[in-house]
Structure 1
Amino acid sequence: MALSTGTKAPDFTLKSKNDDGLVDVTLSAKFGDQNTVLLFFPFAFTGVCQEELCTVSGGFGEYDALNAVVYGISIDSPFAQEGFAKANNITIPLLSDFNKDVSAAYDVLYSDLLGFKGVSKRSAFVINKEGEITYAWSSEDPHDMPLFDEIKAALKA
């Protein structure tokens, strides 16, 4: 079961890949300044993941207006994520949880998905400026989409 609201968000540093190379992204770097939305997704280059991340990228201005940074997280390598982002015009940073440590810390790993062990469940967390989880959602069905209206309502609260 995913971490619940009221829980201190586990801090992490993950790799992201852009045109300038690999960069480290640390969750706590936003504490005190911005709210954070974490969107865990199973695999790059799959239809539902593409739809989810393109939806968020297309409406990024709404999250920015709510003083929130949005990160997509999967177990894919940062190099695969970069290709996925470029192929689909995904503008939010994608973070590689290649070692599965962050997905495990947030308790959002499938034990088995289509024969693959340790794949991130489609999950969403809103973390406030103090580092506390104020919204948590996770699905056992990888076809379910996050409830974006609920995420935005949590950011307004």
Structure 2
Amino acid sequence: MAIPVGTHAPDFTLKTKTADGLKDVKLSENFGQRSTVLLFFPLAFTGVCTQEMCDQSGGLADYEKLGATVYAISVDSPFAQEAWAKANRIGLTLLSDLNKTTIKAYDVVFPMLAGVGDTAARAAFVIGKDGIVKYAEQTPTPKDLPNFVAIKAALAK
């Protein structure tokens, strides 16, 4: 089960691939400034994950209006994430949890997905400016998407 609402969000520093190379992204840098939406997804280059990230990329302006930064996290390498993002015009900041420390900290490990190994479960969190979890959801299966209406409602509070 995902960590519950009301708990302090576990901080992390994960890699993202930019045009300038690899860059560290630290969750706590948003504290005191912006809310953060974390979208955990199992694997790049898969159908449901591609659809989710393309849809959310198209709605980034909605999150911006709500004062939120959106990060999408998977266990893929930052290089695979970059290739996937380019191929599918994904505009979200993709973070690599290759060592699986963040998915464990948020308790969203999906064991042995399709027999290939542990990945992130599909999950969503809204982290307030204060670093507290305001919304937490882990979907029943990797094929189910988070409730994006509820996510945006949590941000609007």
- State the TM-score, normalizing by the size of structure 2: 0.98
**Equivalent pairs: percent with the same residue?**
56
| Equivalent residue runs for 1:95-110 within 5 Å | 95-110=95-110
Q: How many residues align?
A: 157
Counterpart of 1:132 in structure 2 is 132
Matched AA of 2:100 = K
- How far apart are 1:117 and its partner, in Å? 2.5
Shift of 1:118: 1.6
Q: Secondary structure of the equivalent of 2:126?
A: strand
Separation in 2, partners of 1:28, 1:70: 13
C-alpha deviation, 1:92, in angstroms: 1.0
Write the mapping of 1:6-45 to structure 2, written as runs, cut at 5 A. Answer: 6-45=6-45
Whole-Å separation in 1 of the counterparts to 2:52 and 2:60 = 12
Distance 1:70 1:10 in 2: 16
In the TM superposition, 1:80-99 aligns within 5 A as 80-99=80-99
Q: Is the aligned partner of 1:150 residue 2:150?
A: yes
State whether residues 121 and 140 of structure 1, in contact with CA within 8 Å, keep that contact through their aligned partners in structure 2. Answer: no
Give RMSD over aligned pairs.
0.7
- 1:57 alignment counterpart: 57
Deviation at 1:146, TM superposition (A): 1.1
Distance (whole Å) between structure 2 residues aligned to residue 156 and residue 135 of structure 1: 12
SS at match of 2:14: strand
- Which amino acid in 2 is paired with 1:32? G
The code of the aligned residue for 1:79 comes to F
1:156 Cα deviation after fit: 0.5
AA aligned opposite 2:45? F
- For residues 109 and 139 of structure 2, the distance between their equivalents in structure 1, rounded to whole angstroms, comes to 10
Regions of 4+ moved over 3 Å: none
CA distance in 1, matches of 2:60, 2:23: 21
Structure 2 counterpart of 1:12, which letter? F
Any gaps of 5 or more consecutive residues in structure 2?
Answer: none
Helix, strand or coil at the partner of 1:24? strand
Look up the SS of the partner of 2:145 in the other structure: coil
Cα offsets for 1:42-86 (capped at 9, x unmatched): 000111001111111001000000000000000000000000111
Are 1:38 and 1:73, in contact at CA under 8 Å, matched by a contact in 2?
yes
Please give the secondary structure, in 1, of the residue aligned with 2:115: coil
Distance 2:142 2:48 in 1: 8
One-letter amino acid of the counterpart of residue 29, structure 2: A
C-alpha distance in 1, partners of 2:3/2:137? Answer: 9
Which sections of structure 1, spanning at least 5 residues, go unmatched? none
